[in-house]
Structure 1
Amino acid sequence: MKRLILVRHGKSSWDNNLPDHKRPLKKRAYNDAELVLSAFQHFYQPGALFWTSYAVRAHETAKLFKERLKIKDIDFKVKEDLYTFNQNELLSEIKTCDNSRDKLIVFGHNPAMTILVNSLGDKKLDNLPTTGLCVIDFEVDSWDQIRKGKTILTLLPKNLR
């Protein structure tokens, strides 16, 4: 079995006229991450590989999860190819995960995240909001075989407030 956990980056700021990949998190992102992490930490089983886009908003969100869940540096990787808004590019990158790992957590961007949640999972979402998290299980042995899985958990900050 393979478990994919998709997390959209936290709410970011448009205030500073920065390039898209350099936009920082807003204060709300930290509050939302606290809500999601408080619920998720009871569900999380150690051993996941963490991959994040290099965009500041995704990387900072991933670091909040890394710290709270006590993820080792060796299991935390910033990947340039995850800075994409295209679901096919995102899925192609996910399929490169080493098959010795059964759990992968990916921090990325919309619309790719919402489209993947809907195409891979069995429960539809209108939108995976900022700091939204979705867990999908697949009855396969290889990451390149993931197609249609079972959505087993969705955590949305607005539902946890």
Structure 2
Amino acid sequence: MTTPAGYRRLILTRHAKSSWDDPTQDDFDRPLNQRGRFAATELGDFLASRGLEPEEVLCSPAARTKETWARVKGAVLESLPAEHFIPELYQANAAQLLATLRQAHMPTVMMLAHNPGIADFAASLPARVPLSSDFRRYVTCATLVVDFQIDSWAELKPGSGSVIDFFTPSRRG
């Protein structure tokens, strides 16, 4: 599904479920657990089934976001997008996420980051938010697909998006 001219599409993803097997491990370095690996692959399959391929990826450099992206990428991509691992996305608030997105270049962007900032950012984007209780909590691997009628990400204004889809993983894995 390509983004129409005069539109920008955002695929906004919270990282999948991380592992707490090692309580001494630094938060930044925590990998995905088994459920998270399954969910990230499931997200990739979901995006592929709908033809939702990002052209540019803005990703926190934390281990769990990078691993989420790697698993999604393995399922969804026919061509490799521009990938940017941006330190400011680690534990970013909604304002930082918006500022980063406004600097994106391609029409279809996937952003992978963390709660609580990503939940606040997701809630601020569409004119009407999904009714799902999982949207309000922005559970791990939750993904909002939202379109904006703008020519450049620099023009993005909160509350102006149209929800195309909302994904949450199954509870398996």
* Within-5 A mapping of 1:1-161: 1-16=7-22, 17-46=24-53, 48-70=55-77, 72=79, 75-98=82-105, 101-121=106-126, 122-124=128-130, 125-147=135-157, 148-158=160-170
Secondary structure in 2 aligned to 1:41? helix
Supply the AA of the counterpart residue of 1:28.
R
In 1: Cα distance, 2:74 partner to 2:45 partner: 13
How far 1:36 sits from its partner (Å)?
A: 2.2
Percent of aligned positions that are identical: 27
TM-score, with structure 2 as normaliser: 0.83
Identify unmatched segments of 5+ residues in structure 1: none
Cα distance change of structure 1 residues 47 and 129 upon mapping to structure 2, 3 Å threshold: closer
What RMSD over aligned residues (CA atoms) do the two structures have, in Å?
Answer: 2.0
How far 1:35 sits from its partner (Å)?
A: 2.4
Deviates more, 1:118-127 or 1:72-81: 72-81
Secondary structure in 2 aligned to 1:84? coil
In 1: Cα distance, 2:54 partner to 2:119 partner: 25
In 1: Cα distance, 2:77 partner to 2:57 partner: 11
Secondary structure in 1 aligned to 2:46? helix
In 2: Cα distance, 1:71 partner to 1:129 partner: 27
In 1: Cα distance, 2:60 partner to 2:76 partner: 19
How far 1:77 sits from its partner (Å)?
A: 2.0
In 2: Cα distance, 1:28 partner to 1:74 partner: 26
Cα distance change of structure 1 residues 43 and 36 upon mapping to structure 2, 3 Å threshold: same
Is contact 1:11–1:29 with CA below 8 Å preserved after alignment? Answer: yes
Provide the aligned length of Structure 1 versus Structure 2: 159
Identify unmatched segments of 5+ residues in structure 2: 1-6
